[in-house]
C-alpha cells in the first residue's frame, strides 16, 4: 500500500508540473459545450433537452486529451522500466495511473459539469443525476483510457489509434449516463441507469488494470 500511495503521489506531482494538460482539457470541455447554443439556437426547451448528451460527449472527448502522456513520457525516458521494477504488480501501476488521471482530469470535469449544465438550461431536478452519473462514468473513462494508452504504447501513430480504441468501448457509458439525466428530467427514476453505470465500473475496475498491466509488460520487453 505504501508503494501504491507513493506512486499515486508521484503521478499527482507530475500532473501539477504539467498543469496545462488539465487546464486544456477543462477549457476544451467548457468551450465545446458553450459552442452548442450558438449552433442549435438559444431556445431553453431545445437546450434543456439536449443538455445531457452535450455534457457527456464533451466530457468524454475532454477526458481523452491527456491520455497520450499517461505512459508516453515514462516510456520515453525509461521511468516505466523503473516503475515495473519497484515491487508493485503491473496492474497496480496501471490502477495508480488511472486514479491519478481521474483526480487530475475527471474530477475537474465533474466540478465543471454543474455550471455547464445550468448554462445549457438543464433542469435543477436532473442536475444530481448528471453529477452522479459523471462520478461513475468518468472513473470508467479513466480506466478504459488507461488500458487503451497502455495497449497503444510504443505503436506508430498511437495518438491516432487511442481514440479509435477507447471511443467504441465508452459508448455504453455515454448511453447510460445521458439516459439517467434524461429520466430525471422527465420525472422518472434515474436509478436503473446509474446502477448500470456502477456495474460497468465494477467490471472495469479489475479488468482494465489487468489488461493495461499486461500491455505494459509487453511494451517494456
| pLDDT score at 156 | 72
pLDDT at residue 29 is higher than 90: yes
**Chain centroid offset of residue 155 CA:** 22
pTM of the model: 0.91
Domains in the chain: boundaries: 2-220
Residue 189 to residue 194: CA distance in whole angstroms: 10
Indicate whether 173 pLDDT > 70: yes
If one counts every other C-beta atom within 10 angstroms of the C-beta of residue 127, the result is 18
% of the chain residues with pLDDT over 70: 98
Tell me what pLDDT residue 158 has.
Answer: 66
Q: List, in order, residues 6 or more apart from 180 with CB less than 8 Å away.
A: 129, 130, 132, 133, 190, 193, 194, 197
- Asked whether 39 and 45 are in contact (CB, 8 A), the reply is no
Share above pLDDT 90 across residues of the chain, in percent, rounded to a whole number: 46
Give the contacts of 201 (CB within 8 A, at least 6 positions apart).
Answer: 136, 139, 140, 143
**Arithmetic mean of pLDDT over the chain:** 88
The answer to whether 215 and 151 have CB atoms below 8 angstroms apart is yes
- State the pLDDT at residue 15: 82
- Helix, strand, coil content of the chain in percent (nearest 5): 85, 0, 15
Compute the distance between CA of residue 120 and CA of residue 122 in angstroms, rounded to an integer: 6
Burial 171-203, CB ≥16 within 10 A → b, else e: eebbebbbbbbbbbbeeeebeebbebbbebbee
* Angstrom distance (rounded) from CA 20 to CA 3: 27
The whole-number pLDDT of residue 107 equals 92
30-80 per-position pLDDT tens digit: 999 999 888 888 788 888 889 999 999 999 999 988 887 788 777 777 777
What pLDDT score does 181 carry? 93
List pLDDT tens digits, range 89-130: 889 989 999 999 999 999 999 999 999 999 998 888 899 999
Cell 481514440 belongs to 163
- Model confidence at 5: pLDDT above 80: yes
Amino acid at each position: 500500500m505504501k508503494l501504491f500511495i507513493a506512486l499515486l503521489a508521484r503521478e499527482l506531482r507530475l500532473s501539477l508540473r504539467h498543469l496545462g494538460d488539465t487546464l486544456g482539457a477543462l477549457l476544451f470541455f467548457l468551450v465545446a459545450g458553450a459552442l452548442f447554443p450558438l449552433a442549435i439556437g438559444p431556445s431553453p426547451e431545445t437546450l434543456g433537452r439536449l443538455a445531457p448528451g452535450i455534457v457527456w460527449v464533451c466530457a468524454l472527448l475532454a477526458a481523452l486529451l491527456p491520455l497520450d502522456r499517461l505512459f508516453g513520457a515514462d516510456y520515453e525516458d525509461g521511468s516505466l522500466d523503473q516503475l515495473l521494477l519497484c515491487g508493485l504488480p503491473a496492474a497496480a501501476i496501471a490502477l495508480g495511473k488511472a486514479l491519478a488521471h481521474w483526480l487530475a482530469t475527471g474530477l475537474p470535469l465533474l466540478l465543471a459539469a454543474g455550471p455547464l449544465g445550468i448554462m445549457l438550461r438543464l433542469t435543477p431536478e436532473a442536475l444530481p443525476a448528471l453529477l452522479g452519473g459523471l462520478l461513475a462514468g468518468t472513473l470508467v473513462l479513466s480506466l478504459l483510457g488507461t488500458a487503451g494508452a497502455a495497449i497503444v504504447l510504443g505503436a506508430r501513430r498511437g495518438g491516432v489509434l487511442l481514440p479509435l480504441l477507447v471511443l467504441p468501448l465508452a459508448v455504453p457509458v455515454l448511453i447510460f449516463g445521458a439516459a439517467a439525466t434524461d429520466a430525471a428530467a422527465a420525472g422518472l427514476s434515474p436509478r436503473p441507469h446509474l446502477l448500470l453505470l456502477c456495474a460497468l465500473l465494477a467490471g472495469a475496475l479489475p479488468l482494465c488494470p489487468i489488461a493495461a498491466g499486461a500491455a505494459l509488460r509487453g511494451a517494456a520487453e
